[in-house]
Amino acid sequence: MPIQIEHLTHIYGDDTTLAVKALDDINLTISDGEFIGLIGHTGSGKSTLVQHLNGLLKASSGSILFDGQNIYDKGYDLKALRSQVGLVFQYPEHQLFEIDVFSDVCFGPKNLGLSEEEVKERATKALESVGIPKELYNQSPFDLSGGQKRRVAIAGVLAMDPKVLILDEPTAGLDPQGREEILDLIKGLQTKSHMTILLVSHSMEDVAEYVDRILVMNHGRVVYDGTPKEVFAHYKELEDIGLACPQVTYVCHDLHDAGFDVDLTATTVDEAKESILRALG
Ligand SMILES: Nc1ncnc2c1ncn2[C@@H]1O[C@H](COP(=O)(O)OP(=O)(O)O)[C@@H](O)[C@H]1O
Ligand SMILES: [Mg+2]
């Protein structure tokens, strides 16, 4: 179910003097099974873009084709779209509200009108896939740690069995350990399932090690689109738009400038390590 975005523009407060063009003629195709990082500094339009993909926000102009069908067509089933394109909001734990963890995760599938048995099955599977142990199922979501709450919120979306999973800054506000846990969890979901995953972040470091493709947004436009190596080759231009590349990019460039024959396209710590060891003979 590829997603094609064509000339997508979004203007907040279109008919007011405070109009903000948050998306400016975005053109993109997202193919099945891709693992994509969407990067950009605060205010670049990331959240606005992803909220279009499940029809929460409507474009000012342009179109979105899901599986070849324009979601803005008359009579298009937006409810079905929302169950296929799962969106985990930033700080999703703010949306936990049920009395216990299990009921919270059941909420989505229940709304799909599934049988009670299937709802429970889906919730159990989703909670297992995010590593929440059975002992916590009957606890209030508010008694969990920050990282656990977030995993429960992700489970709530997974229980809808989406084809596409979008996570808006899923590591925001977590400590380094919580961050790594969430990123490893997402990577695990990507390898085990056939889901298309779109990971929104303002940190290159977060996505470099994980994704196959990076989209860089600036001022409502997609300015780079490529593999991590292709995108980080623009590390100077990325700095100009307020985005730091992974630390290893700088280390390799510094070593290169100092006369060592290291690989300037290394984007992960492992690649950099190998290249540096090689350069040292
Ligand atoms: N509800 C809104 N009303 C008006 N302007 C908004 C609203 N939400 C976002 N914006 C503006 O749209 C632009 C893009 O914001 P956003 O999509 O939230 O970016 P990001 O997620 O990359 O931080 C920013 O200039 C922001 O101030
Ligand atoms: Mg945002």
CB distance 107 to ligand 1 below 6 Å: no
51 has pLDDT over 90:
yes
- How many domains is the chain partitioned into structurally? 1
Quick check: helix, strand or coil at residue 196? strand
* Selected residue with higher pLDDT from 173 and 221: 221
Residue 16 falls inside a structural domain: yes
- Give the model's pLDDT for residue 266: 85
- Give the model's pLDDT for residue 184: 92
Residue 204: its H or E element: helix 204-208
Q: CA 244, 214, 85, 165 torsion: positive or negative? A: negative
Mean pLDDT to the nearest integer, 256-280: 90
Residue 266 falls inside a structural domain: no
The ligand 1 atom at the shortest distance from the C-alpha of residue 40 is: 22
Measure 93 CA to ligand 1 centroid, in angstroms.
21
Helices (H), 46-203: 46-53, 78-84, 101-111, 116-129, 146-158, 176-192
Residue 253 falls inside a structural domain: no
Range of the domain at 148: 3-228
218 falls in which pLDDT band (50, 70, 90)? very high
Return the CATH number at 168: 3.40.50.300
Residue 34 falls inside a structural domain: yes
Mean pLDDT to the nearest integer, 81-108: 91
Which ligand number lies closest to the CA of residue 217? 1
Residue 123 falls inside a structural domain: yes
32 has pLDDT over 80:
yes
Mean pLDDT to the nearest integer, 148-174: 94
* Selected residue with higher pLDDT from 92 and 72: 72
Q: CA 42, 48, 53, 54 torsion: positive or negative? A: positive
91 has pLDDT over 90:
no
CB distance 20 to ligand 1 below 6 Å: yes
Residue 243 falls inside a structural domain: no
Measure 117 CA to ligand 2 centroid, in angstroms.
36
Report how far residue 223's alpha carbon sits from residue 160's, in angstroms, rounded to the nearest whole number.
33
Q: Residue 4 in contact with residue 34, Cβ under 8 Å?
A: no
Which ligand number lies closest to the CA of residue 18? 1
Which ligand number lies closest to the CA of residue 40? 1
The residue whose C-alpha atom lies closest to atom 25 belonging to ligand 1 is 43
| Contact residues for 110 (Cβ-Cβ < 8 A; gap 6+) | 119
Q: Residue 46 in contact with residue 168, Cβ under 8 Å?
A: yes
User: Could you tell which of 11, 12, 42 is best to mutate to test the pocket of ligand 1, judged by most ligand atoms within 8 Å of the CB?
Assistant: 12
CB distance 44 to ligand 1 below 6 Å: yes
Residue 238 falls inside a structural domain: no
| Short-list 99, 87, 77, 120, CA closest to 200 | 87
Q: Which of the residue ranges 6-10, 34-38, 206-210 would you say has the lowest mean pLDDT?
A: 206-210
- Give the model's pLDDT for residue 265: 83
- Give the model's pLDDT for residue 245: 83
Report how far residue 33's alpha carbon sits from residue 120's, in angstroms, rounded to the nearest whole number.
27
103 falls in which pLDDT band (50, 70, 90)? very high
Which ligand number lies closest to the CA of residue 20? 1
User: Could you tell which of 38, 44, 48 is best to mutate to test the pocket of ligand 1, judged by most ligand atoms within 8 Å of the CB?
Assistant: 48
44 has pLDDT over 90:
yes
pLDDT mean across residues, the chain = 93
Q: Residue 43 in contact with residue 243, Cβ under 8 Å?
A: no
Tell me the DSSP string of 66-81: ETTEETTSTT--HHHH
CB distance 42 to ligand 1 below 6 Å: yes
Residue 272 falls inside a structural domain: no
CB distance 202 to ligand 1 below 6 Å: no
Measure 257 CA to ligand 1 centroid, in angstroms.
39
pTM of this prediction?
0.92
- Give the model's pLDDT for residue 122: 97
Q: Which of the residue ranges 21-25, 95-99, 192-196, 212-216 would you say has the lowest mean pLDDT?
A: 95-99
